[in-house]
């Protein structure tokens, strides 16, 4: 029974990994795209070894041989098997009981993939400190509205001494995080450094809701916002807020790989 | 990958001859079950409370996402590590390790530490590999030096550090030196003060890998299966703990601690333990902690790959609980001291 469970657990874990990588993009909720090949490879290895375990069980050996010559028992002294703990967990014969915990992520992967991080996480994390750009800034392209990433917009506002961003109409994309203070809302991106456990957040405060003033859009909606820098403080220094006066707001589809700070691709 | 094995040899003859354990040595060891039940209960409670509105649903969702993300992120490295450890057990000749390396354990420790550079993975891979090295007769001190250094000084991690700290080669050098130093000191400390009684019984009685009368393939498969299931279970346990911290304490709170230099070193070291960031990513996290001094960030990167919640769980499962808490405590102290010294000298 136990050995059946071992093989099954390997196979299920493998299948779970393959399901989220091979047959959907679900894995992008948890890790970066670059991990996909090794995740697939791990899934295949686990699946194959799980199948191998199932096949070896059909051989003549039943329960006994494994208990007799388990890995931990080669010593001449072989441990007696009495005591309250029985003989679980200390050699290679049984299933380590802790292995049952693997059922949770496996079922999660197979049946109930947890949701992507969103406004809840973003609201509770501090703004990502934007790296200081040492090299100075290129001149901005002349297109208008100018597509920028949230990180680039923040850098231009707070670090670009030439103030190239002044008066320019930019186009930013991200999802909505409500502002608890009630004044406007945040256009947000969550960026994975490695996986969802070490994500960082970039936020741009958005003033005005474009044409109508129907209040802030619902949390977690993906939007493209066209607008200009919201003047306050001194542009090009840290005192300038990363904020935008919105002119036009259009809903967009959630990007497949949502956890980067990529340029908006959709036109419009 | 096989180069790892050639380099990490050992002076096993110096090591302790297994003493037949008196029956009194056996302890009741219900803890994995206890912990598992406790955690399952806690998880159920969290989900139930979430359902009854005690915790809002997004928090539970975020917890599940973060927890699963840690498991998924670590899974390839865990598979790599357990496959490697299974292969070392089943296919590598037993005397390889004794032939290649210095016979004296004192010398084997630093060599094993440097050899950690060839295992291109994160900490989840190094635990099962170190385990199989011990089972293969490598002196535990050398295996522990390898265990500590491998996740911190391999090329992947050092490259990530270089990318995260552009134009700051001193940070890479400091990380390399402090990690190697900690690994070597811990190895020597084990030779000086370590006691094999702390290790799980299965590790104390070195078994010789390939058993007469069984096919090597079968040996490999069963070894892999056991190691993976065990380490995987503990990985989930550690991921749950780290996710709980991650969701319960918003990152914004942490920046409040960046004031005093000494406190910030200790604080970031503690944060590295709690956050359990993979060693391949921790440089980016460290780089983002801009409010803290370079030495504090170095401590984050030195402690993180050696001690964190999921590693403590993994080590407790692999080597035994008595070992894990002593070893992790000592490692934290040594690692903080090493980062403070290196950081003071280089940064």
Among A residues 31-50, those touching chain B with beta carbons less than 8 Å apart: 31, 35, 38-39, 41-42, 45-46, 49
Q: Is pLDDT above 90 for A233?
A: no
In whole angstroms, give the CA distance from residue B253 to residue B250: 6
Its sign, for the CA torsion B337, B338, B340, B344, is positive
Are both A211 and A140 inside the same structural domain? yes
Q: Compute the mean pLDDT over every residue in chain B, rounded to the nearest whole number.
A: 78
Within 8 A of B236 by CB-CB distance, chain A residues are 101-102, 104-105
Contact A53 B221 (CB under 8 A): yes
Are both A94 and A56 inside the same structural domain? yes
Domain boundary among A69, A93, A114: A114
Are both A172 and A96 inside the same structural domain? no
Interval A208-237 mean pLDDT: 80
Q: Of B37, B232, B312, which to mutate for an interface test with A (greatest number of A Cβ within 10 Å)?
A: B232
Are both A126 and A239 inside the same structural domain? yes
- Strands A243-251 and A170-178, how do they pair? unpaired
Are both A151 and A177 inside the same structural domain? yes
Contact B200 A9 (CB under 8 A): no
Tens-digit pLDDT profile for residues B65-98: 988 988 898 888 888 888 888 888 788 877 787 7
Tens-digit pLDDT profile for residues B33-77: 566 666 666 666 655 555 545 445 788 888 889 889 888 988 888
| pLDDT at res. A68 | 37
Q: Is pLDDT above 70 for A211?
A: no
| pLDDT at res. B155 | 83
ipTM: 0.81
| Residue scoring higher pLDDT (B104 or A90) | B104
Percent of chain B with pLDDT over 70: 76
- Please, are residues B19 and B111 in contact by the beta-carbon 8 Å criterion? no
Here the tokens at position B1 are 């990958």
Tens-digit pLDDT profile for residues B130-189: 888 888 888 899 999 999 998 888 888 888 888 778 778 999 999 999 999 999 999 999
- Which residue in A38, A74, A118 is closest to B207 by CB distance? A74
- Please, are residues A251 and A222 in contact by the beta-carbon 8 Å criterion? yes
> Where in chain B are the domains?
36-346
Q: Is B344 exposed, middle or buried (0-12, 13-18, 19+ CB in 10 A)?
A: exposed
Q: Is pLDDT above 90 for A111?
A: no
Question: Within 13 Å and on the Cβ side, how many CA atoms surround A106?
Answer: 20
Q: Is pLDDT above 60 for A170?
A: yes
Question: Minimal Cα–Cα distance from A80 to chain B, Å?
Answer: 8
In whole angstroms, give the CA distance from residue B171 to residue B181: 15
Contact B62 A200 (CB under 8 A): no
CATH number, position A239: 2.40.50.140
Among the residue ranges A67-76, A259-268, B101-110, B304-313, the one predicted with the least confidence is A67-76
Among A residues 163-222, those touching chain B with beta carbons less than 8 Å apart: 193-198, 200
Number of domains in chain A: 2
Are both A29 and A82 inside the same structural domain? yes
Contact B317 A96 (CB under 8 A): yes
Q: Which residues contact A228 (CB under 8 A, 6 or more apart)?
A: A167, A168, A169, A170, A244, A245, A247
Q: Of B1, B61, B68, B285, which to mutate for an interface test with A (greatest number of A Cβ within 10 Å)?
A: B68
For helices B140-153 and B169-193, the axis angle rounded to 10 degrees is 170
Nearest CA in chain B to A16: B72
Taking the Cβ of residue B22 and every Cβ of chain A, the question of whether any pair is shorter than 8 Å is answered with no
Q: pLDDT-derived band of residue B328, with 50, 70 and 90 as boundaries?
A: very high
* Residue A267 covered by a domain: no
Q: Which residues contact B330 (CB under 8 A, 6 or more apart)?
A: B186, B189
- Decide: pTM greater than 0.90: no
| pLDDT at res. B10 | 38
Tens-digit pLDDT profile for residues A77-98: 333 333 333 333 334 546 677 7
Are both A24 and A108 inside the same structural domain? yes
Q: pLDDT-derived band of residue B226, with 50, 70 and 90 as boundaries?
A: confident
Are both A131 and A212 inside the same structural domain? yes
Are both A138 and A99 inside the same structural domain? no
Instruction: Please give the DSSP secondary-structure letter assigned to residue A35.
Output: G
Among B residues 93-132, those touching chain A with beta carbons less than 8 Å apart: none
| Residue scoring higher pLDDT (B343 or A263) | B343
Domain that holds residue A7: 2-114
Are both A209 and A149 inside the same structural domain? yes
Are both A99 and A153 inside the same structural domain? no
- Beta-bridged to residue A186, according to DSSP, are A177, A205
* Residue A262 covered by a domain: no
* Residue A265 covered by a domain: no
Q: Compute the mean pLDDT over every residue in chain A, rounded to the nearest whole number.
A: 78
| pLDDT at res. B89 | 77
Contact A102 B236 (CB under 8 A): yes
Here the tokens at position B109 are 């420790």
| pLDDT at res. A42 | 93
SS (H, E, C) A94-161: CCCHHHHHHHHHHHHHHCCCCCCCCHHHHHHCCECCCCCCCCCCCCCCCCCCEECCHHHHHHHHHHCC
Instruction: Please give the DSSP secondary-structure letter assigned to residue B307.
Output: S
Here the tokens at position A91 are 């050699």
| pLDDT at res. A67 | 38
| Residue scoring higher pLDDT (B51 or B278) | B278
Preceding omega of A126 cis (within 30 degrees of 0):
no
| pLDDT at res. B178 | 95
* Residue A141 covered by a domain: yes
Give the DSSP H/E element, type plus range, for residue B220: helix B216-248
Domain boundary among A85, A114, A143: A114
Are both A145 and A181 inside the same structural domain? yes
């Amino acid at each position: 029974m136990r050995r059946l469970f071992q093989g099954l657990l390997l196979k299920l874990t493998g299948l779970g990994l393959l399901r989220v990588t091979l047959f959907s993009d679900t894995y992008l909720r948890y890790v970066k795209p670059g991990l996909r090949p090794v995740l697939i490879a791990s899934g295949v290895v686990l699946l194959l070894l799980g199948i191998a375990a199932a096949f070896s069980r059909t051989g003549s050996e039943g329960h006994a041989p494994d208990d007799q010559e388990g890995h931990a028992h080669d010593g001449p002294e072989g441990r007696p098997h009495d005591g309250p703990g029985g003989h679980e967990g200390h050699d290679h014969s049984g299933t380590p009981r802790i292995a049952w915990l693997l059922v949770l992520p496996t079922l999660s992967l197979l049946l109930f993939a947890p949701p992507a991080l969103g406004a809840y996480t973003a609201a509770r994390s501090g703004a990502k400190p934007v790296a200081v750009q040492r090299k100075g800034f290129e001149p901005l392209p002349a297109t208008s509205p100018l597509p920028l990433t949230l990180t680039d917009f923040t850098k231009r506002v707070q670090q670009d001494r030439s103030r190239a961003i002044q008066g320019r109409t930019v186009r930013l994309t991200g999802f909505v995080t409500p502002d608890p203070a009630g004044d406007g809302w945040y256009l947000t991106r969550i960026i994975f450094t490695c996986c969802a456990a070490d994500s960082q957040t970039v936020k741009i405060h958005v003033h005005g809701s474009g044409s109508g003033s129907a209040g802030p859009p619902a949390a977690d909606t993906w939007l493209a916002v066209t607008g200009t820098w919201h003047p306050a403080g001194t542009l090009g220094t840290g005192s300038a807020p990363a904020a935008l006066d919105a002119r036009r707001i259009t809903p967009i589809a959630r990007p497949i790989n949502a956890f980067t700070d990529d340029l908006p691709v959709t036109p419009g | 990958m096989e180069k790892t094995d050639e380099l990490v040899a050992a002076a096993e003859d110096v090591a302790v001859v297994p003493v037949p354990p008196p029956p009194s040595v056996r302890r009741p060891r219900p803890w994995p079950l206890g912990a598992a039940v406790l955690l399952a209960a806690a998880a159920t409670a969290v989900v139930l409370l979430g359902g009854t509105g005690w915790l809002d649903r997004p928090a539970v969702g975020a917890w599940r996402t973060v927890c699963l993300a840690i498991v998924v992120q670590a899974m390839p490295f865990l598979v790599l590590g357990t496959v490697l450890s299974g292969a070392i057990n089943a296919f590598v000749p037993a005397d390889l390790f004794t032939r290649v390396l210095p016979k004296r354990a004192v010398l084997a420790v630093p060599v094993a530490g440097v050899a950690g550079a060839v295992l291109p993975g994160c900490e989840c891979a190094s635990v099962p590999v170190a385990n199989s090295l011990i089972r293969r007769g490598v002196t535990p001190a050398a295996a522990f030096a390898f265990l500590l250094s491998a996740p911190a000084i391999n090329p992947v991690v050092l490259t990530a550090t270089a990318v995260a700290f552009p134009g700051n080669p001193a940070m890479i050098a400091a990380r390399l030196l402090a990690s190697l130093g900690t690994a070597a000191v811990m190895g020597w400390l084990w030779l000086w003060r370590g006691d094999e009684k702390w290790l799980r019984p299965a590790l104390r009685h070195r078994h010789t890998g390939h058993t007469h009368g069984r096919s090597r393939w079968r040996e490999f498969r069963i070894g892999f299966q056991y190691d993976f299931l065990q380490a995987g279970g503990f990985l989930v346990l550690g991921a749950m703990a780290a996710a709980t911290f991650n969701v319960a304490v918003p990152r914004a709170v942490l920046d409040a601690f960046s004031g005093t230099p000494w406190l910030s070193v200790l604080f970031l070291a503690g944060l590295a333990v709690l956050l359990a960031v993979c060693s391949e990513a921790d440089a980016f996290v460290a780089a983002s902690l801009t409010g803290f001094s370079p030495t504090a960030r170095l401590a984050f990167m030195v402690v993180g790959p050696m001690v964190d919640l999921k590693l403590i769980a993994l080590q407790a499962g692999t080597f035994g609980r008595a070992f894990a808490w002593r070893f992790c405590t000592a490692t934290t102290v040594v690692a903080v001291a090493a980062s403070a010294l290196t950081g003071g000298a280089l940064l």
